[in-house]
Amino acid sequence: MTTVAYRPFDIAVAADPYPYYEELREVAPVHHLDQDGVWVISRYDDVVAVLRDPLTFSSALGLGDVFMGRARIPGRRPPSFLTDFAGLRVLIASDPPDHTRLRRLVSKAFTPREIAALEPRIRALADSMVDDLLRAGDEADLVAQLAYPLPVIVIAELLGIPGDRRDDFKRWSDDLVGGLSGTWDPTRLQASGVEMFSYFAEVVAERKREPGHDLISLLATRAVEDDTALEPMEILMFCVLLLVAGNETTTNLIGNGAQALFEHPGEGARLHHHPELMAVAVEEALRYDAPVQSLPRGTTRQAEVGGVQIPAGAHVLVLFGSANRDGRRYPDADVFRVDRNPADHMAFGAGIHHCLGAPLARLEARVVGETMVRRLRALEPTGEAQRIDSFFLRGFARMPVRALAR
């Protein structure tokens, strides 16, 4: 068996996974990690093939197993509260026909028209948060003052939840992500999990009794012709998924995009002179440093990927971040170019599990970028940024900056 340096849970890999990805793609593109019992898929074409074959590469046997503690994550056991939800269907961790039904019902709240209607509010939030950055001077933190609060406020307003709970949202989200990936405190995770699920259970029950005009009310009261409306616990699980995914993806995208521009000042200057490239630059930021680096799948039967046989019942780790740096797909893949427009990148996955919230994340990142170009003559790092500790997410927990007004 080929030996490679990549280990998904190593600190060095989390700090900079891209050299390890390159080695995998060149030496062992479909690789079995004996130590972790996982098959790792790293080349673009192979990643696409796996994601577009959900009957063979199951999400329920992948991320679903991680949720329930059946997948092996060294040194970690699932918090006991998760076992209480075993068997519940979660959109990101389900297969057809359950996934088909869940996605059809919740996608009605994520139509292009619904997402476009959010732009004025997102612009107002972005302007307010740029004001905060300017007032903070040398004490500004791009994550704490913009990249984190903006998507959390948007999600909270979509769900019809008071903005004063956003600190709770952040704590719940961070603890749940920590439990599924990097370092964690089991006691804290247990407490946050119980608190989060209890809170959303109360909100769902309340909206069924007295619906409003928010997303939870829409899901709780919508009449469905074929009698397949979401159950209260399914709505609860979707709220939890939306909170975590809607927070982490956009927060990480904004931070990663800023870091890429800091490291490529020429591209930053180009974007300032050509703000019409912002939407394209967001796609390049997604490709260059994906907010979600990998997700697991489980094989329902023996499968061949890249000429390698993977047995039935295997755990598979699909490396989105590696696929996006595959030079076979993207020439000069390690170079950040704001005009590249990599429309087929894997940052949001592919196939039936392509990220439902992708249009919202794109809108938020584009509006933030356009607001900064319009309002600022420069955004400069003032200290060392701190990465989040996760093997499947990539972003920043802290990013000291100085914002200079035009």
Scan for tokens 């030079």, then name that residue.
327
pLDDT at 313: 93
Q: Is the pLDDT of residue 332 over 90?
A: yes
Position 81 confidence tier, pLDDT thresholds 50, 70, 90: very low
Averaged pLDDT of the chain = 87
pLDDT tens digits, one per residue of 126-182: 999 999 999 999 999 999 999 999 998 998 888 888 877 878 887 887 777 766 654
- pLDDT score, position 48: 97
pTM, rounded to two decimals:
0.91
102-124 pLDDT, tens digit each: 888 778 778 888 899 999 999 99
Query: Which of the four CATH numbers 2.40.50.140, 1.10.630.10, 1.10.3720.10, 3.40.50.1000 does domain 11-405 have?
Result: 1.10.630.10
**Residues of the chain with pLDDT > 70: what percent?**
89
Would you state the torsion angle of the CA atoms of residues 155, 17, 42, 362, taken in this order, to the nearest 10 degrees? 30
pLDDT tens, residue by residue, 354-398: 998 899 999 999 999 999 999 999 999 999 999 988 888 999 999
Segment 225-231 mean pLDDT: 60
For residues 212-230, give the mean pLDDT. Answer: 72
Q: 69-78, 135-144, 219-228 — which one is most confidently predicted on average?
A: 135-144
What pLDDT is recorded for position 85?
Answer: 47
| pLDDT over threshold 90, residue 93 | no
Q: Of 184, 230, 224, 227, whose CA–CA distance to 204 is shortest?
A: 230
In the block, residue with structure tokens 């019409």: 276
